[in-house]
Structures are given as C-alpha cells and as structure tokens.
Amino acid sequence: MTAPNSGDETDVLNKTEAFCHTLHKPIFIDNFTMMSMGNRKSLLPYIPGYDNNAVLKLIFFLAGSYMTLAICWAVMMIVNGSTDAFNTYLASNIALPSIASFADHWWTPLTYGFFHFPNSFLNMVSDMLWLYTFGSVTQMLIGKKQIIPLFLYGVIVGGLFYVLIQLIPGEVGKAPPQIMGPRAGLVAMCAAAVTLTPKYRFYLSETFSIPILVVAGAFGLLMIIGSGYYLSVIFMLLGGGLLGFLYVRLLKAGYRPGEWMYSAGSKLESMVTPDEQAISRKNSNKRSAVFNNSQPHAQDTESRVDAILDKINQKGYKSLTSEEKNFLTKAGK
C-alpha cells in the first residue's frame, strides 16, 4: 500500500499546500526543499527524486544495514559453525537488551532501531513498506529535513520506554532477551502523519480510497500482534507514537527539533570539503595583493621611461648611457 503517484515534486508540494489550506492545517515545507528541487543531479539516476527524498534514503540505509548484518552472520556461521560469535560480538552490541544487561550496553537505544535480525527478512520488507507509506505522507507535509530526526527520536524514546518499563517488577516488566528493529521509529512516523493530516486518504484507484486512520489502525494492530504481547515492547511502541505526536506539535509551535542535526552535518562537511566561496575570496585577495604591490614598481618604471624619452628628444639616442639603453630595452618587452 503506497501513497498516490505524485509525478513532479513541485506540483505535489503545490497541491499539498492547497490541500492543507483546505483542511485548515499549517504546512511546514522547508525552504531548502523548495529551493533545491531540480537543481541537483541524483546520485541514483534510476530512482527519480532520490536526492530530495529522505524516506527513500532511510529505506536504502535500513536495507543496507540488514544486508551487512546478514552477511556477517553468514560468514561467522561458515567460519565458526555456530551463531555464538555473532551473538557475542555483534548482536549483543547492537540489539536492545533486557534491563539486566543494559548497564553494559547503554548505547543500544541508538543502534537497535537501524538493524534487523538476519532471519527476519520478511519483517524487514514489511517495515520498509510501512515506512514508505507513512513517511511519504509526513515528508510531503513537513519536508525531507524532518524525516531523519523524527525517526531517530522515535527509536531512542521507544528504546528508553522499553528499558524503563522493565523496572516495574512482575509480568509488567517482563521483556524478551533482545530486541532489534525500527518499530518505534515507524510508529513515530505513523503518529506524525496522522497528527498532521487525520483526513488524508490513500487512493488505490480513482474511485476507491482508504482513510489514513484505518491504515494506521491496521498498522497498530499488527505491531501489537508482532510484539509477542510483551508489555515492555508495547510501551516501546507507545513511546515512539508519543514522540511522533509531540514532534509535530513542536513544529506547529515554531520549533525545529531536528535542526541541530543538519547544522552539525553542515559544519562537519565544511571541515572536510573545500569552500568554493572561501577559495575564491582567498584567490581574489592574493590577486589584489600582487596588483597593489606591483603598482609602485610600475609607476617608477613609467616615470623613468618618460625621463629617458625626454632625454632622447633633447639630446638624441647617443646621449644615453649603457644602463639607460638596457633599461629602455627591458621596459619595452
């Protein structure tokens, strides 16, 4: 299930703006998105609009991380004949553990959401479809620069909810040994899309469409069924959904929660990439310095040439000394 075919991106944004005004909903399309459309050549020419589509980039990244982990698993299985090395050196340092092991793996709320277990290919494909479904709607309404921060915050908050709920004793805090996958980020994307435009509809044909609330309901039900009915996993999903809702509310209030990511990225890029404008200014300054330094010398040369020419007019060429003749010859080259 996908969003309707958009065609030209600029037309989509114009139609979206009119759509949002019809629903009396504010639109948060980034100026950068509007300015950059059509100005940059895609790195993947066979995927239209890849450069301006953060959802597609995120999908490719998640699929690539799955393939990388699956290859590592296969290699370790061939070399060691078991999954012990994989579980010890990779999975335990990526997956979100139970509360008992969390102190030794405190960084996993940042990593678990970007990988899938190697034997969960169908889950990975399903997650990418859901990401495209809700991510496309969200990106269309608030711009590509909000997608990665929204997803990342959803993963982190969901992971923290998962860990904190385990502090409650008994069945409430019961959790699987490890968990991996972007489900909290997907729920954040779903909640953001529903919060932005609850009346949106997915058109499967010209006469048949499905409300986004129905799609979101089916998605939520599948997520709960896939949780194994662990309350800790369900709370992780709720944490992601709460983050998605709050993220949109902050955007509507005028805040940009993800701006720092792009600012930091731009600064890092400027440190390793030459600044064309700075180089141009530097070269211009060098040319100016050379020109200014040569000005006094040029003026002295011109004055002396004039004096020699006056001497020739008055006394003839034979009156020049050897040094004056050499100087005049050099000045004429």
**Domain map (residue ranges) of the chain:** 9-272, 288-331
pLDDT at 298: 56
Q: Which two tokens stand for residue 329?
A: 């010859």
pLDDT at 116: 94
247 versus 297: the higher-pLDDT residue is: 247
Interval 236-255 mean pLDDT: 95
pLDDT at 138: 94
Task: Tell me the pLDDT tens digit for each residue of 48-99.
Answer: 667 789 999 999 999 999 999 999 999 999 988 888 889 888 999 999 998 8
- Give the H/E segment covering residue 214: helix 212-226
Q: Is the pLDDT score of 32 beyond 60?
A: no
Provide CB contacts within 8 A for 103, sequence distance 6+: none
Residue 211, CA atoms < 13 Å, CB-side half-sphere = 7
What is the rounded CA–CA span in Å between residue 53 and residue 30?
13
Least confident of 73-82, 179-188, 311-320: 311-320
% pLDDT > 70, the chain: 71
Q: Outline where 81-146 has alpha helix (H).
A: 84-86, 92-94, 99-102, 121-142
Task: Note whether 155 and 113 are within 8 A (CB).
Answer: yes
43 versus 78: the higher-pLDDT residue is: 78
Q: Token pair 């929660």 is at which residue?
A: 257
Q: Is the pLDDT score of 45 beyond 50?
A: no
Q: Is the pLDDT score of 200 beyond 90?
A: yes
Task: Tell me the pLDDT tens digit for each residue of 126-178.
Answer: 999 999 999 999 999 998 999 999 999 999 999 999 999 999 888 778 888 89
Task: Tell me the pLDDT tens digit for each residue of 260-289.
Answer: 888 887 777 777 765 556 566 666 666 555
pLDDT at 7: 44
33 versus 181: the higher-pLDDT residue is: 181
46 versus 195: the higher-pLDDT residue is: 195
Query: Which homologous superfamily is 9-272 in?
Result: Rhomboid-like (1.20.1540.10)
pLDDT at 109: 94
Provide CB contacts within 8 A for 64, sequence distance 6+: none
What is the average pLDDT value for the chain, to the nearest integer? 80
What is the rounded CA–CA span in Å between residue 132 and residue 2?
7
Distances (CA, A) of 281 to 270, 273, 276, 286: 16, 16, 9, 9
